Structures are given as structure tokens and as C-alpha cells.
């Protein structure tokens, strides 16, 4: 039985409803595509370039701006929620200004870029990685399959 996932979008600034909707739809689609049927909760924080750089420096020891970071609660552990409760999967931080700039650079919509970054973050929370070529291929396939299911395939946006 599929349970409702809880996707919380957090921002210090007002956020366009289309951005919030894209994040919620993308996170839900990634969880479904990966077969997560136990209820989970994911928090997505929309942050400034300065904030994501500080997070990257603090937690990854990389003093550079990036577009998305994921912080899993139970990396590598099976999803086994308490009865009747969603398991907290983790946090995703997305630099919204960077996402908008990348969308322009790549020639697609900001909606597609934010959705892509959300899917990428959710896949990391579920244990995917892209350090090795085979891992990278599996992760890219999962990303593109999920985005295509949302009508946001690269060739259509």
C-alpha cells in the first residue's frame, strides 16, 4: 500500500508556487520511481549561494558554491518506519539562484532544473552516488526516467 510522503519546502524568502509544486512533484516521483512505498518525510531548503557554500565547506570540506546538497538521516539503512509515522529521510539544500542560472545556461526551464536538483537530492538520500562510472549511469538513468515521467525530459523542455 502506497502511503503519503511528506515533502516540506523551506525558504526564508517568498517562493513562487510553481517552484514549490515542482519540488513536491519531483520528490514524490523520485520516491515512487525508486519503489519507496513506506511513508517518508523529506525537507527541501531553498538557500542562498552563500548559505550553500557554507554548508559545502562545513560538511564536505569544499569551499565552493554548489547547486544541491543532501544530508541523509540513515544513510545505507533500510527504510523501516514506525507504525503510522513517516520516517524522516533527510534534508536537501538547493541554491535557487544557482538553479535559475543553470536553467538559462542549459537552455531549459527553471522548473526542470529545480525538479532535476530535487530528484538528484532524493536519490542521494536513498543511497545513490555518482563517484564511479557505473554508479553515475544508474543515477542518471533514474533521474531522467523520473523527469520524463513528469513531462520534463531534456528534449521536451
All domains of the chain in start order, with CATH = 6-156 (3.40.390.30)
List per-residue pLDDT tens for the chain, 157 residues long: 445 889 999 999 888 899 999 999 999 999 999 999 888 899 999 999 999 999 999 999 999 999 999 999 865 555 555 666 788 899 999 999 999 999 999 999 999 999 999 999 999 999 998 888 999 999 999 999 999 999 998 754 4
pLDDT at 156: 46
CA pair distance 112, 99, nearest whole angstrom: 9
Predicted confidence at residue 3, as pLDDT, reads: 56
pLDDT at 157: 42
Q: Residue 154: what pLDDT?
A: 72
Give pLDDT, residue 96.
95
Whole-model pTM: value is 0.89
d(CA 49, CA 126): 25
3 state SS for the chain: CCCCCEEEEEECCCCCHHHHHHHHHHHHHHHHHCCCCCCEEEEEEEECHHHHHHHHHHHHCCCCCCCEEEEECCCCCCCCCCCCCCEEEEEEEEEHHHHHHHHHHHCCCHHHHHHHHHHHHHHHHCCCCCCCHHHHHHHHHHHHHHHHHCCCCHHHC
**Strands across the sheet with 87-95, in order?**
6-11, 40-47, 87-95, 68-72
Separation of alpha carbons 19 and 112, rounded Å: 10
Amino acid at each position: 500500500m502506497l502511503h503519503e510522503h511528506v515533502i516540506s519546502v523551506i525558504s526564508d524568502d517568498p517562493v513562487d508556487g510553481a517552484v514549490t509544486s515542482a519540488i513536491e512533484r519531483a520528490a514524490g516521483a523520485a520516491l515512487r520511481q525508486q519503489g519507496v512505498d513506506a511513508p517518508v518525510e523529506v525537507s527541501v531548503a531553498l538557500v542562498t549561494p552563500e548559505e550553500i557554500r557554507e554548508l559545502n565547506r562545513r560538511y564536505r570540506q569544499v569551499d565552493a558554491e554548489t547547486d544541491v546538497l543532501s544530508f541523509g538521516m540513515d544513510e545505507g539503512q533500510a527504510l523501516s518506519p514506525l507504525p503510522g509515522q513517516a520516517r524522516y529521510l533527510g534534508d536537501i539544500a538547493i541554491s535557487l539562484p544557482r538553479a535559475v542560472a543553470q536553467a538559462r545556461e542549459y537552455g531549459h526551464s527553471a522548473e526542470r532544473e529545480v525538479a532535476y536538483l530535487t530528484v538528484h537530492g532524493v536519490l542521494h538520500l536513498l543511497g545513490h552516488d555518482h563517484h564511479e562510472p557505473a554508479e553515475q549511469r544508474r543515477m542518471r538513468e533514474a533521474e531522467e526516467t523520473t523527469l520524463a515521467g513528469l513531462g520534463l525530459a531534456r528534449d521536451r523542455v
